[in-house]
Amino acid sequence: MAEPFDAFRYAHAHHDQVAWLSQNTNHLVPPEIVREAVDEAVRRRLYEGYPLASGDPELLELARADLGLGANLPFLTGGGTESLYMITRALLASGDEVLASDPSYLIIHRFVELTGATVRCLDVYRPPWRLTAERIQEAIGPKTRMLLLIDPLNPVGSGYPRDEVRAIAEIAHDAKLLLLNDVTYRDFSDGHALAAEFAPEETITVWSVSKNCGLAGLRLGGFLASPELTKRIARYNTNDLGINILAQVAAKAALRTKPSWIGKVVRQTRENGHRVEEIVRGVDGATTPAAPSRANMTIVDIAPTGVAPEAVQEELLLRHGVFVRAGNYLSPTHGRRFFRVSFSNAPSDIERFGRAFPVVMESLAARAPAASP
Ligand SMILES: Cc1ncc(COP(=O)(O)O)c(C=O)c1O
């Protein structure tokens, strides 16, 4: 029997020919910054020894200053992902409930479920395309233990205004709930506010250098919480011997220089986002309903065309070398309506999407069953 098509296997095998619009990665950071730092670390053969287990002190200071959250130092992990696993593992138990959104970054939901806790999803596939304090307040029940606030929200690209973050943080404080604030995409969002500013005892902030600094492949992130919560979470640390030393070197170089390049990266990302909106407007039945994005991604709803997002993903990749992501891995309820495009990329990648998308939709729509409403 034929193997099902594996988009990731295909894309990695053709890595340099692919326009990577699939994982919200950032391809706009000046590459020499990281290259020079890592070359030097390799020349010194730093990789032969273990890193300082608690993390390079300069990196910890840079990460703390970058978040601007006062006295506590962050805890380094293998990407934000490892933090998310540790936090859920340490702080949740069977019978607990976590309030989250749908669509969402569902890997976190899976981590929650591994602890025996359940996730209650509030449908945010409509304006304002994110949770609100009011809906959270209504949904809190006797089992609610944690709120999941991903800001900006992957995959939608929506973000939370400062007053809404404050209101949600106050709910967490008053109801004695934990607030998991995943701010992986925060640098792309104008006027972003951290929940920890308003609920420092209840909030665990998860940050990453994967997207803002363009270092996804190096796997470095972390969390920041009160000393009491940090101690409880740190018990589940598996990287007892420290985080990849070359990743730490690269993250230091990127964070040290970030003020000099992040503005340009965000501006190009915004321009690309507007160009994606324009491209999508040119295809009947396709929309970017949650645009403009406050992150480096948006959703493209194609439900009225009757075309399956998985088919668009496959055709774009196989025939045009453009990798986008079908929505089924991001939303149990709405995943068959949309795909996600990310755009911290060279404008030529966006133009490739612009040439390919109308062609792919035309050929797939001709074969599609009746459109869904
Ligand atoms: C909301 C969110 N949190 C966390 C992550 C994982 O980030 P990292 O690469 O730091 O593990 C992602 C990756 O796409 C994400 O979208």
Q: Each residue of 284-333: pLDDT tens digit?
A: 999 999 999 999 999 999 999 999 999 999 999 999 999 999 999 899 99
Q: Is 24 in the pocket of ligand 1 (CB under 6 A)?
A: yes
Ligand 1 centroid – CA 81 distance (Å): 6
Ligand 1 centroid – CA 280 distance (Å): 26
Q: Is 273 in the pocket of ligand 1 (CB under 6 A)?
A: no
Return the structure tokens found at 178: 């934990």
Q: Is 298 in the pocket of ligand 1 (CB under 6 A)?
A: no
Tell me the percentage of the chain whose pLDDT exceeds 90. Answer: 95
**Is residue 367 over pLDDT 90?**
no
| pTM, 2 dp | 0.96
- Spatial neighbors of 212 by CB under 8 A, at least 6 apart, are 26, 185, 186, 187, 188, 258, 262
pLDDT of residue 99: 98
Q: Which atom of ligand 1 is nearest to the CA of 209?
A: 10
Ligand 1 centroid – CA 183 distance (Å): 9
**Where do the domains of the chain lie?**
7-30+259-365, 31-257
pLDDT of residue 371: 55
- Residue nearest ligand 1's atom 7 by CA: 80
| H-run or E-run covering 222 | strand 221-224
Q: Is 212 in the pocket of ligand 1 (CB under 6 A)?
A: no
Ligand 1 centroid – CA 22 distance (Å): 13
pLDDT of residue 69: 87
Q: Are 124 and 130 in contact (CB under 8 A)?
A: yes
Query: How does residue 3 score in pLDDT terms, banded at 50, 70 and 90?
Result: confident
Pair type for strands 221-224 and 203-208: antiparallel
CB contact burial 309-340 (16+ within 10 A = b; e otherwise): bbbbbbbbbeebbbbbbbbbebbeebbbbbbb
pLDDT in tens, 80-107: 999 999 999 999 999 999 999 999 999 9
Q: Which atom of ligand 1 is nearest to the CA of 216?
A: 9
Q: Is 180 in the pocket of ligand 1 (CB under 6 A)?
A: no
**Is residue 372 over pLDDT 60?**
no
Q: Is 207 in the pocket of ligand 1 (CB under 6 A)?
A: no
- Residue nearest ligand 1's atom 12 by CA: 184
pLDDT in tens, 56-69: 999 999 999 999 98
Strand-pairing partners, residue 148, are 180
Ligand 1 centroid – CA 184 distance (Å): 6
pLDDT in tens, 331-345: 999 999 999 999 999
pLDDT in tens, 28-51: 999 999 999 999 999 999 999 999
Q: Does domain 7-30+259-365 have CATH number 1.10.287.70?
A: no
pLDDT in tens, 241-264: 999 999 999 999 999 999 999 999
pLDDT in tens, 197-244: 999 999 999 999 999 999 999 999 999 999 999 999 999 999 999 999
Q: Is 105 in the pocket of ligand 1 (CB under 6 A)?
A: yes
Q: Is 338 in the pocket of ligand 1 (CB under 6 A)?
A: no
pLDDT of residue 349: 98
pLDDT of residue 72: 85
pLDDT of residue 1: 66
Q: Are 168 and 195 in contact (CB under 8 A)?
A: yes
CATH architecture of 31-257: 3-Layer(aba) Sandwich (3.40)
> Which runs of consecutive H residues, i.e. helices, occur in 29-147?
31-43, 57-67, 79-91, 106-114, 133-139
Ligand 1 centroid – CA 80 distance (Å): 6
